[in-house]
Structure 1
């Protein structure tokens, strides 16, 4: 009798699974191209209807898990406000008025102000690059926060890169859930709307830097884009080094000056993009001559060929390589494998 019951349960489960696969198959036959769904999703920040919602995010770092909830307000084009309700950033707020982005601490102090924004033209320009480097396909339909979505995979054509799975609202093209995987295929973070309401009336005042915020904190930082590498070096007083090896599919996105108010001097940022992921190369002269890169974690042995020593860390899907005992000091941050970042670091000249 027990065997018959178990056999019956197995049959029911198999029939249910077949039914789900059949529904998915017929839904995909009428689905738009995955590339078109992704294109609309990339433009949603600039074109989507106003909305408010609550999200939950989980990050997996060093074998542990960190969770956070946040309330989000969004208004096109490019205006947003994220208020963290729980987790390590509880009480903090980040936002943008579409021109300036800002971050405030739990006591209202301004932690960061930047003028980095992405224009519709830049979004359109990056999309062909993304399609050159990633294969996009619709996996199946799903429902998130009571909204019908298309689930799409965005997987790299070249090894060593991170990839994403996205749940895109069928009507408004807003990404309602996302999962980020590292270059080895391990899940590093996921975020999903628990609730969302479109068409809400949101005042522009909600996206301005809070008037009650203190002027600046010691952690304030600013960044500004320069036109050329020569202009970047002229502003900083040293010549930034460039890698002779750049991973396949990546192009230079821009040159930036990074000013961290709690430190002396400024640093250069050279940013590379492949349409989805990015690599940031930070370079700065030590505040004190001969000062070495802080060694917060175990130091990897030097490469016997290049003599290069480094500190390797991981944050979410990103790897961080701090190159030791160089001038200028060098840090590489990228959503790709440690091996590729090390290859870049060893090719600096």
Structure 2
């Protein structure tokens, strides 16, 4: 799928307005593009709520572009007897049928008055590119809401921070970091966790609140093991590891958490740039740089190299190269916490 990474460049040259998924607005055509489903769902719901607030009689209909019956789009967007506003949500545009593609492109030439058509394209394929190009050229009077993938830790941190900011709620930086760590593998669950805290917790949200709600998450436990091992607290690290394993934690995320922190330390080690400049260059956050520099206290280049090699070995072993993944993660914790080769 090599064309997919090039789409942002195409959007930047678009002739139509680019809207944030947090603040979408209706238009005759609303293109919701990109793979991040939680953002796309928010954008689509936001357009619906906007239109419904203007007129509660809004008619909402759904179509599938990949299972499309000829004439459906025009039929659902045509004015009704009483002239209610219409919203048509079209999913699966990235796998649309030829019939839908032909009719959608024709619809752009004469959009129906009072109708809003939302086209959802995940970017999973180049199918429908002719339609997207037509929309982005300005045909149909459309707008685009981009929903790029949220993969990097810094992007997840920004996403979660935005959830609380949008709700005019304050969360302590340490609490926000703990929350992101607890749901680092699933943006949808991260969004749900943010909304639960916003709904359930009055006032400011601190680290203890996040720990009370989500301290049992495997990922949070994994980072506890990683933090204590990297700090050189060997006994505490083994206790945390045993607690994690008896609580049902899988060795894979435990190793991944340690390896992630070691990689960040390696990227930061030896640099003297200000945190903000280094963070911008590495695609990280200021606090990640500061934390990595604190984690590097007591480490030298040789010990860090040994730990990274041990993490690579453990990663392979917990993913099937060893019959005893628990021993593999125990050995890694020992190497990291003692900052020496295993058995030295």
Give the TM-score normalised by the residue count of structure 2.
0.23
Query: Which structure carries more helix by proportion?
Result: 2
Query: Which structure carries more strand by proportion?
Result: 1
Name the larger-Rg structure: 2
